[in-house]
Structure 1
């Protein structure tokens, strides 16, 4: 299949120009959001500014805690106000954080920059998925959501690769100042791309359980929006299951991604080859995103099989200790990326109330908590086991998810026939 066709927002179905407009703006937004040249270099910026390893670690903690605390409140705000507004503001906060780093390279400025970056990411989380799904649904293309989001994720991954490659010559030409300026510019362009996203919210959808009296409800406040989202998750078993699945699928492999360079180094290849192995894995992730259109047709049994196969491939590849084993990890990460997009699509399809971004942010909160748990477990066990064994242990989470998913399917079938 032609890769260019896969990334063309007008090719799938090729019959809905309004859906194509949503897709094109989304691809630009996701690519620019990841086109940050500071990504591979900001730890070096901190060290070059005299920060200790402990101080750098504390900055990462500040970043994580900020996102964790603001994940759900930002989702509620997106439902109560405007999702596009939050998508415009998010990159601006990140740009302000990067600018602080450049102008005042010191620990307080770095800490405040991470708070702004974490806040910017929280504003985008939940709001993006909710806006895209509802805009596609409005033009009769909700069934293309998984395909469009999969391609958007792939565009982001390609942008990370481009930014990493570009950072080398840009740093050589102008140091951290040029790298930082390019990153700020990318954030500003990302904000402009967000402004191009359509948003039609002439009146909020009816709250969960209200009977769907469209347009009859007055604009709701923050607390009412939060209560509506929590009520939908609490009362609707299918939504609750989709929230948990979405959180767990990405939470585990998203955390393990941070340790991929260490796993690659354990294969005893020359250090110069480690980036090549990492690239192989991210090629697998990209392919997984591009296959989301086909993945949205998976049944519960098919998704369970995908998760189980991915877990087996990761475990086998990781414990092999061989560069060839990285192919197994790449295949697993591709399967998990595909499953992540499919799980998100199922969540969006099951949300019926007006607090879509709130519910999606609850899934994001679950992802953050899962990621922190994996970090803690990995760190605690790292003294007793190598990276390959740790990857294999955490890979067991996916067959367990597959079993729970399959059992849930059987329980629903029994309830219908009983």
Structure 2
């Protein structure tokens, strides 16, 4: 029987009912995302062919949302659950959720918040139009939207932007995502600037939560939750299960303590979030510098975002992950495109790691690149042998990308990383 890679995504509002909808797994899998009103609190994969009773599904739902519920509870002075209920599903779960999460319910939103949204794009007009429309439809809108058209080969991006009179268009002729990001910094005028990819759609409360995060003056930068928009193909499923941008449903703060705690092994900065959904105080770049133009698409291939987060931490600032700032990302649909993407990811990964090693000699990135990473891939080469199906199909391209990143670093380590501003 041919394996099904078509997974239906269903968003389940637990505030409306605790009775989970029936699901059939005969021919399809399910990706269930649980919400309490506008707050995402967990997700669950149900595989094709799984036989699952309503009671079993309810228990799996509880297991998926329990860590989030306990984290929100721990941040409050009064406990919404008894100690005994920490590991068992409470009979009054809907009441517990309401009590615990009610402080995050938003009865009203400001019409606009003072943030600049920057979208860097190249020749993806259809995706861009969807992304811009989602931003324009927000009940709480960003004060400014900037589209950076990066080395386009046609005028399709400009034509899309013309449909949105308030959107600022910036033509950047030099190819490179971090070059485009830096152009966005120069164009933006608001005190907070957020980056989203052209293949995401923002959640209705996204702009508000970006702005709200920076009301904490200790926060210099932030990332948000990225949820898959569709899981219709094998490539999309591989990405979501093994390379997901989803960093969970619990607030996290990355600061100097995190940096020092992980320094020996090389801080896993890539865990902080994804460039598809990140934001910064605009004046931060005067201290940390701009994005490293040797990295990301058009150069090393990736990791300009995580290298920036690393620099932010080394300057003593903090980065906050806010899971209530949600976007929905459309993953690559076909395997060739995914393989190309993962080649770039690993090329940028090793190049950025060595750049970070040079920036902070005490960090353990050299050990990560030349010891931990080879052992990691040796494990996967053994585990995938001999068929190398599903996740293992991309291993060869990942290894080639990692090696290419080392060579890229050696060739470009003395090249200027910052723009002339």
- After TM superposition, the score normalised by the length of structure 1 is 0.28
> Which structure has greater helix proportion?
1
Q: State the structure with bigger RCO (CA 8 A, min sep 6), 1 or 2.
A: 1
> Which of the pair is proportionally richer in strand?
2
